[in-house]
Structure 1
Amino acid sequence: MKITLLVTLLVGLFSLTPVGAQDKQLTPQQQRMTTCNQQATAQALKGDSRKTYMSDCLKNASSKPGEKSLNPQQQKMRECNSQATQQSLKGDDRNKFMSACLKKTG
């Protein structure tokens, strides 16, 4: 009787374990690692080129592969520079505009 109960409990324990493991969500870092790994495999990268690709991919997850991600200040600089170019500003006018634009918050 005790052996049957023990076997039943063990079988029940093992049958519940995979269900709990499947419900576990991947963290953003784990998702990023999976995506980068799949891309490296699709490109048939090996050795040092794979390591370099994986490193770049994991660092720049928000950008396209091969494109450097920008920090908020760099992004703001790019936007202000684009606006100044659209307005055809030159010299002191451009410098004043850039200074004012970069000081704006939000």
Structure 2
Amino acid sequence: MKIMLLVTLLFGLVFVTALSAAEKTLTPQQQRMSLCNQQATAQTLSGDARKRYMSDCLKNTKTEPGQKSLSPQQQKMRECNAQATQQSLKGEDRSKFMSGCLKKTG
């Protein structure tokens, strides 16, 4: 009788543990991995093409898969360049502006 009760409790414990493990939410990285994997499958990629796609997809967490994310320096360069273009700066004036703009922090 005691053995039957012990086996039943043990089985219940295993069942509850397995159930709770299945209900855990995915981390953002796991969600990204799942999304990239689904997209690679939808594009029927395989071999090296799939590896390259997955690598690019997982590295570019701030953009959509397939788009290149910019480093903070590249973003700053893009902003300074847009400002210089907006001010219609050319030649030496543009060079001085870009130099000063890129040296600014924040």
Corresponding residue for residue 70 of structure 1: 70
8 A contact 2:84–2:94 mirrored in 1: yes
Corresponding residue for residue 49 of structure 2: 49
Distance 2:10 2:65 in 1: 47
Q: Once the two structures are aligned, what percentage of the paired residues are identical?
A: 75
8 A contact 2:36–2:65 mirrored in 1: no
- Which secondary structure does the structure 1 equivalent of 2:69 belong to? coil
Deviation at 1:64, TM superposition (A): 2.6
Corresponding residue for residue 29 of structure 1: 29
Distance 2:92 2:41 in 1: 51
- Which secondary structure does the structure 2 equivalent of 1:25 belong to? coil
Corresponding residue for residue 38 of structure 1: 38
Q: CA RMSD in A?
A: 1.6
AA partner of residue 2 (structure 1): K
Query: Which consecutive residues of structure 2, in runs of 5 or more, have no partner in the other structure?
Result: none
Distance 1:27 1:101 in 2: 38
Deviation at 1:27, TM superposition (A): 2.5
Corresponding residue for residue 2 of structure 1: 2
- Which secondary structure does the structure 2 equivalent of 1:65 belong to? coil
Corresponding residue for residue 80 of structure 1: 80
- Which secondary structure does the structure 2 equivalent of 1:64 belong to? coil
Q: Aligned pair count?
A: 106
